[in-house]
Chains A and B, each alone.
Chain A
Amino acid sequence: DAGVIQSPRHEVTEMGQEVTLRCKPISGHDYLFWYRQTMMRGLELLIYFNNNVPIDDSGMPEDRFSAKMPNASFSTLKIQPSEPRDSAVYFCASRDTGLGETQYFGPGTRLLVL
């Protein structure tokens, strides 16, 4: 199994630009989670989907952030417009309910907003 795939691995952009992060979950997994990791706040859950439907987006910092999951094998996290304080590592994780509660993480996207 290829595991969770994220792209790009690194992104450098200027303040005000749109940023789109992509995630391909493990095949067959029915849950997908988006996290943000910073030194100050650690790993924070932003939003999660079950069977492609957003269930809880209470962790999304503000309206500049949006996430979609058009099908079972693809999700995007978009920031528009981006700000320097959005600089962080963004992780995607997926889970198969039938196999338990364990989430499996992708390699992350390191975002730097100048």
Chain B
Amino acid sequence: EDQVTQSPEALRLQEGESSSLNCSYTVSGLRGLFWYRQDPGKGPEFLFTLYSAGEEKEKERLKATLTKKESFLHITAPKPEDSATYLCAVQVLESDKIIFGKGTRLHILP
């Protein structure tokens, strides 16, 4: 069965303290892996799409990487405004569906 598991469930960091969020996936074949950010009371906001192992994408303090079994979202020198829930999702080959993980709730303390 296709699965997406995110860890940790929640993470508290001091401002400037870099860390990484993990997304492990088990799928029959990967078509794409997505990272979204979700703020309270809002819909998920698209961050990155990764398609193949070894691929990396960056946006401001965020960098997403992909291997054959997992993806990492690296957060460098985070600021309080980076506080949000980060969702990982995978799309399986030959499918239009996206399977979401439960997310990591990130809280950056000033």
Contacts and interface: CB of A to CB of B under 8 A. Distances in A.
B49 A102 contact: yes
B16 interface: no
B96 A50 contact: yes
B98 A42 contact: no
B94 to A, nearest CB: 12
A42 B101 contact: yes
B32 interface: yes
Contact of A91 (B44, B96, B103): B44
Given A31-B96, A45-B97, A101 B43 contact: no
B43 A45 contact: no
A92 B86 CA distance: 18
A44 B103 CA distance: 13
A107 interface: yes
A108 B89 CA distance: 18
Interface residues of A, number: 23
Contact residue range for chain B?
20 to 34
A105 B96 contact: no
Interface in B1-54: 31-32, 34, 36, 41-46, 49
Contacts of B65: none
Contacts of B99: 45
A2 to B, nearest CB: 13
Nearest to A50: B96
Given A42-B101, A42-B102, A107 B96 contact: no
B87 interface: yes
B96 A48 contact: yes
Given A42-B103, A102-B49, 8 more contacts: A55-B96, A56-B96, A100-B49, A101-B49, A105-B43, A105-B44, A105-B45, A105-B46
Interface of A: 4, 31, 33, 42-45, 48, 50, 55-56, 91, 93, 100-108, 110
